[in-house]
Amino acid sequence: MSYVIDIYKNRIKPEKNFISYSVFVSFFPLLVAGPIERATHLLPQILKQRKFDSSKAIDGLRQILWGVFKKVVIADNCAEYANATFNHFTSFSGSTLILGAVFFAFQIYCDFSGYSDIALGTARLFGIDLLRNFAFPYFSRDIAEFWRRWHISLSSWFRDYLYIPLGGSKGGNWMKIRNTFIIFLVSGFWHGANWTFLIWGFLNALYIMPSIMFNTNRNHLDMVAQGRLLPTFKESINMMITFSLTVFAWIFFRSVNVKQAFHFISIVFSKSTFKLPEGRAFGGSTNHPFIIISLLLVFIIIEWIGREQQYAIAQFGKKWLLPIRWMFYYSIVFAIVFFGCKAQQFIYFQF
């Protein structure tokens, strides 16, 4: 669609070489789940003569390694617990369901961003730079920042090909409100013809409304705690609130139907939330929940340390001695082999 629209708008000229065009529309790393590339960015790279660049290839392999870790170790293990809680939610306490919703939040992030890392790394082996698709969205301080960092290629696509043609924010508050709700509802419908996706989109539109109305949606363009090791107290609270709102919206996204979503939420807000999470929710899993939570904490720490880079381990350990740095890489490989549970399909294959 963007290719045809860009030609219609005279942004690009039609590509006359059928092979080059075919490579653009079927470039295998991004074909299944993105990022969503545009002809203006990808076609010039395809047409340009490229030579093998060992530094790019090494960087690409490093990003592939991190993407596989996110998918196999974090996402697939979180999926077991998330599936158990969502599929049998009436049997568990509110605290268990909250934990299951948090696991789903990390499942969908690590699954989808893991695929994107693999796609970007693979393309870099061929000397092609794809659009960045995730920029540590769970470290966002408000919903507007979250949507600048989550599925960037889709968000920017809706902005350029839907929001701006509708008038963007030039027509006053009513125009901004209308257009914002339209793009979020379309985003929900894009994921599937189900009321749960539309409610998910509607919730995110509501979340972002204060930023739109008070013109604070461009307040956090830099990375949180940039140049510092730790965030301020205010930044920490803002990140916690943003993450909590996101997890709440994910409940609708993951639920089979609206009735299940509201029943799930009613249990979350019941007295059972003050109980300890129930271990029987994890009885059928491959790995002990304590191990997965420990791996998840290690993952969050590494992501936090590398949050100012293109991906978490882009510069991680670069100043270490070579044997120590390779021990770190081999530990990731070991985690993939040892903690990898039953392989699960990439979650965005269905969208």
Please work out, in degrees rounded to the nearest 5, the angle formed at the alpha carbon of residue 142 by the alpha carbons of 137 and 148: 45
99, two tokens: 């934990």
Query: Cβ distance 84 to 265 under 8 Å?
Result: no
- For residues 160, 161, 166 and 167, what is the CA-based torsion angle, rounded to 10 degrees? 20
**Cα 45 from Cα 49, distance rounded (Å):** 8
> What is the residue whose two structure tokens read 């992030």?
109
What residue type is 8 in one-letter code?
Y
**Cα 180 from Cα 174, distance rounded (Å):** 10
Query: Cβ distance 192 to 351 under 8 Å?
Result: yes
300, two tokens: 């969050």
Query: Cβ distance 311 to 66 under 8 Å?
Result: yes
What residue type is 170 in one-letter code?
K
**Cα 282 from Cα 290, distance rounded (Å):** 10
**Cα 248 from Cα 126, distance rounded (Å):** 40
> What is the residue whose two structure tokens read 């059972």?
272
151, two tokens: 């599925």
Q: What is the CA radius of gyration of the chain?
A: 21
Instruction: Pick the catalytic residue from 41, 88, 151, 191.
Output: 191
Query: First CA to last CA across the chain, in angstroms?
Result: 17
Active site residue 288: no
Catalytic residues: 191
